[in-house]
Structure 1
Amino acid sequence: MSKRTSPIVMRGCEYKALRGVNAVNILHGVNVTSKSVQATLDASSSSSIIDGDTEPYSSENLSQLPGGWKPLTSPCLVYKFNFCQSEVLDQDHQTDSVLSLPIICSGRPDAIISWFELHLDEESSLSSSPASGSCWEQAVYPLCAEQFQDKNRTVLEVTQEDMVDIVCRCHPTWMSFRVKDIKSKGQEYSTSLSKPKTTEHEDLKSKYRVTEADSRMERSLNVASNKLAILNDGKYLNHLRESMQSLTCIATQGDKSVEEKLSVKVSNPNSKVTVLDLSGMGISFFALKSMDILKNQLVGIISQSDGEDLVEEIFKSREEDLQYFKRCTLESTEISTLEDVSIIIADPVETGGILKANALEDIYIYGTRSSHGSVFTIPGCLKVHAVCVESEELVRNTRVIGADPTLGVNVEKINKFKTYTQLDVFLPTLPHRALSDPFTTFSIDINQLVKCKNPMEVFIQDRELTLEATDSGRIGAIVYWFEMKTSSGVCLNTLDEDNHWMQAAFVIDKKVLVQPGDKIQVTAHFRNNSLSFVVRKYS
């Protein structure tokens, strides 16, 4: 930087606080915390399943975090840089520094949160803190048991007046934080929770990957955070197991009670069940391994290859099961083998709340190839529920509003080039106002879809609904979610807060002004496995 150059940002400060963040929303995307899944993997397994992302942190809008959060320490200044001093840019900041902070509230620290304060001049500043209401999210550094040296410690617990030592490191391209020590009141020293890192590479790698120096595990299996969230959804996996149990009974024994419940009849029960797993991660293997059917009959699984590593991990310690079990990848499967498929299992909804690309189309294509008279699907029925909302935050995140934010420069014309926008949201924490009662847009019987001889677009047609406005405001978006019914009769609702799903928001182009009692026409479109909506008010 030239000595005559004056940067806009004069000083940059980073603040950090140890936060007790709801583990369901933070830790479930970092490693496997579900006890039922850990049991399925078998305690004798020497591997840990953890997030495969390369960054040592994620980001969250803490003001909208489901389940809430609470601070366990007061915020403190970590780094302060004066960009008016050119030597700051050349200085090496990679030396570890240790901060000792008092615990102000008892609890379980799940993550370290950091944010920035930018001083534009002596009077003006910007902050990305949780309370600032800015467009920035906060950096979240999860604390995982694999980082701790104490083999008996699976979670951290702190009490008021404890002291926590946090190691901070500033790299040219990233920052990292980890807990080093926890000292109880009256205790001068405590056992280190994490061994010192010797290099920058080891320090970064240890954040999300288990190393020999850091862990009691021998190796790690890297899995994407959205798949980890599914593995930690015990409710979802349990319903999946129940559905697999019901459908295998139908396919092998002709269970009359289940046949009546599903209004189907299997004429020739088989001793072999062939399952097509379209989940993309082999979640059917968890259900099969927790059932006794592997000891009674031959089960064939056809799965997508991107879940192979996880499948290998599930079955590597169960050699005795392999004699009852035959599996192959979808890519290497012959068409004649697909004709034997009797059960199709899918995971049609993304963790972010939208319909997975080609999810229903794949079920339709592979289901119609089966020679079985009755191909059963999991889920068996998919409903789409929605609500009209007013939310300035959704609109603000999808288009330019006015010229004031852009200092008088009119750039609103770029909005005409905006494509259909769908955002992932947590409806219970999203700042919004509902302007209609919830309504159902689609109800798709997937078990009937695989029997349909017409194109899928004929089976799933557009729908027009007439609604009544329940409040005054401007409809700016349609928030929708899914209800999945399994063969066991249990419904999974992606709006529930105790599962791994978010909801999806479709932001409409022009707001619709309504008053209580106004009639609203909503047209729901299903095109290319995606949903879109048009909202009009009756004149």
Structure 2
Amino acid sequence: MCVVGGRTLPGCLWRSPDPVSCSSAPDDSMEPYTTERLSRLPGGYTALTQPFTALNIDFNNVQELEGLSSRPVQKVWLPVTQEGELDALAVWFQLHLDQDNSLSTGPEEDTCWEQAVYPVHATKDFALQVGDQLLVEVSCRDAYLRLCSVAVLRNGHEIRLDKPAQDLMESGANQNPEAQLCSALASLQTDHNKDICVLESAELALLNNEEYHGSFQTAVTKLFSQLNLANQSKKQDSSELLYVLDVSEGFSLLSLIAASQGHVKAYSSVEKNKQQEVLKRLARSNNIPEESLEFWLNGTEDDQGVLQRPSTEKLWSAIMLDCVETCGLIRQKLMEKASLARCLLEKGGRIFPERIIVHGLLVESDMLLLESAVQGQEPTLGFNIAPFINQFTVPVHVFLDFSTLQCKHLSETVELFVLDLMDTNANYTTRQVKVKATSAGRVTAIPFWYDIYLYEDISVSTLSRHSHWKQAAVVLQEPLEVKAGDWVCLTVNLHKSTISISAQPDNQPQPMD
């Protein structure tokens, strides 16, 4: 968040049960924060201090604006009011329009703005206690507001957080209650001379998805076992290499997991040199032979080039496709890539995942309506905005978290669509689904998510609490009134990997349950 967002920038300390942190930026020109709507954070959050003023800016003072970036670092001591681990600093602004009118973007306000979140990394396993005072340094540099927690004052003793390994150990020597804490923090020491590999927050969330990686390991182990048995039955060399290609977007561990199975030549599509180096280090530390992992550097947008076979005439045993975007949508050209990938598989080889099942349900959500189009026909402050703005509304909401979505469920979950990546004859482009309303209300949207079947019955859900994927929802242009027991006919279309859904009352009599 740029500091010009408001005049007064309050903030507070908070912790979340499931924080997704992003790497410390080695480049000062990079944004030092992420953004979240804290009121919709899965699992909620706990404020560890009262809100405090981080920075005041007078937009009518030209000299103050010109000297903003040269302001000395401001040190703020914050009394801790709630025990907990410090995960982040949260910031919002209060804009004073005049003497009498102001607006706030705080987490408790009904606002369209998110809050800025500054992740804190040095305090893992370090619990703040009621009565502590936390030192936060506030500065404005490179057009960004920057906040950093640097020390804790406990019982008159200062514990440094910017040098956790040394100073926290020393503080533990003087204070018996912190001995266990300091022992845990001893492992935080890092070598600052090493190159830093920066990952996006979405990539870190993916790496923390243990269910997905565990399921993939189970699936690829099962496939390789079946391929080796098939080779043995043909009296072929069971130690012959299996060739695997991972064309996932961004940083991915799938090629490394495949290579760990042995007798595998795994190719990764990771292109950044530092990320390649991370995979190489992980391979060495896990005793995976260096020759088992290679990088597929085509630098081309041509799918045929990306999916081409290795330099030998050996076909692929498995090809891993990145099928679902983090935002909750199917990746563009997925089916075209799957068609090409099928042609490059050896007999018995598979695409991961092999099929995707789309699920959804009927909901009533005023929030989705308010965020999709200008509501009502009355002019907004005298301007007739709705007829013009609503021509450009996008009917699909992305990056939703269904666990925190403000909505009323009007039906049970139903299967909307199936995408089969291994069998082109099993696919279709349109499907009609009959859904029975279980409650009365207005159907305003159809949220949807996926069960991703990696291999046979091994699957993961993008609705899982620990999933790095978010959900999406189609918002109806006209809400549909229903009573409990009514039937709604959904028409689901797939066009160029884009799912669209329309709804209408189904007046045909339905068979009895």
Q: Name the TM-score class by shorter chain.
A: 0.7 to 0.9
- Matching residue within 358, 364, 368 for 1:384: 358
**How much identity, in percent, do the aligned residues show?**
24
1:44-123 equivalence runs, <5 A: 54-92=30-68, 94-123=71-100
1:168-187 equivalence runs, <5 A: 168-171=138-141, 173-184=143-154, 186-187=155-156
What's the offset of the Cα at 1:389? 1.4
Structure 1 residues 506 and 228: alpha-carbon distance in aligned structure 2, compared to 1, 3 A threshold: same
- Matching residue within 240, 244, 247 for 1:275: 244
Q: Within 2, Cα distance between the matches of 1:132 and 1:109? A: 23
Look up the match of 1:480.
448
Structure 1 residues 141 and 405: alpha-carbon distance in aligned structure 2, compared to 1, 3 A threshold: farther
1:2-401 equivalence runs, <5 A: 12-22=7-17, 24-27=18-21, 30-31=22-23, 54-92=30-68, 94-145=71-122, 154-171=124-141, 173-184=143-154, 186-193=155-162, 216=192, 218-254=194-230, 271-280=240-249, 281-289=251-259, 291=260, 293-294=261-262, 297=263, 299-306=264-271, 309-316=274-281, 318=284, 321-325=289-293, 328-329=296-297, 335=308, 337=310, 340-370=315-345, 372-401=346-375
Q: Which moved more, 1:265-274 or 1:359-368?
A: 265-274
**In the alignment, residue 480 of structure 1 is paired with which amino acid?**
F
Q: Is the 8 A contact 1:19 1:110 kept in 2?
A: yes
What's the offset of the Cα at 1:327? 5.2
- The SS at the match of 1:252 is helix
Q: Is the 8 A contact 2:135 2:149 kept in 1?
A: yes
Structure 1 residues 172 and 343: alpha-carbon distance in aligned structure 2, compared to 1, 3 A threshold: closer
Q: Is the 8 A contact 1:274 1:342 kept in 2?
A: yes
**In the alignment, residue 283 of structure 1 is paired with which amino acid?**
L
Q: Within 2, Cα distance between the matches of 1:129 and 1:91? A: 27
Higher relative contact order (CA 8 A, sep 6+): 1
**In the alignment, residue 469 of structure 1 is paired with which amino acid?**
A
What's the offset of the Cα at 1:365? 1.2
- Unmatched 5+ residue regions in structure 2? 165-188, 508-513
Deviations 1:466-495 (A, max 9, x none): 112222222221100000123373321111
Deviations 1:408-456 (A, max 9, x none): 322111212334433220011011111221110122333334xx5xxxx
Q: Is the 8 A contact 1:51 1:228 kept in 2?
A: no
Q: Kindly tell me the number of residue pairs found equivalent between the two proteins.
A: 466
Q: Within 2, Cα distance between the matches of 1:275 and 1:216? A: 35
Deviations 1:75-117 (A, max 9, x none): 1122223334444333435310000011101100100001111
CA RMSD of aligned residues (A): 3.2
Q: Is the 8 A contact 1:266 1:374 kept in 2?
A: no
- Unmatched 5+ residue regions in structure 1? 1-8, 32-47, 146-152, 196-212, 257-264, 453-457
Q: Is the 8 A contact 1:426 1:502 kept in 2?
A: yes
Q: Within 2, Cα distance between the matches of 1:52 and 1:250? A: 51
Q: Is the 8 A contact 2:39 2:107 kept in 1?
A: yes
Runs of 4+ in structure 1 off by over 6 angstroms are 48-53, 265-269
Q: Within 2, Cα distance between the matches of 1:86 and 1:52? A: 25
- The SS at the match of 1:236 is helix
What's the offset of the Cα at 1:157? 1.9
Q: Is the 8 A contact 1:357 1:530 kept in 2?
A: yes
Look up the match of 2:173.
none
What's the offset of the Cα at 1:218? 1.2
What's the offset of the Cα at 1:138? 0.6
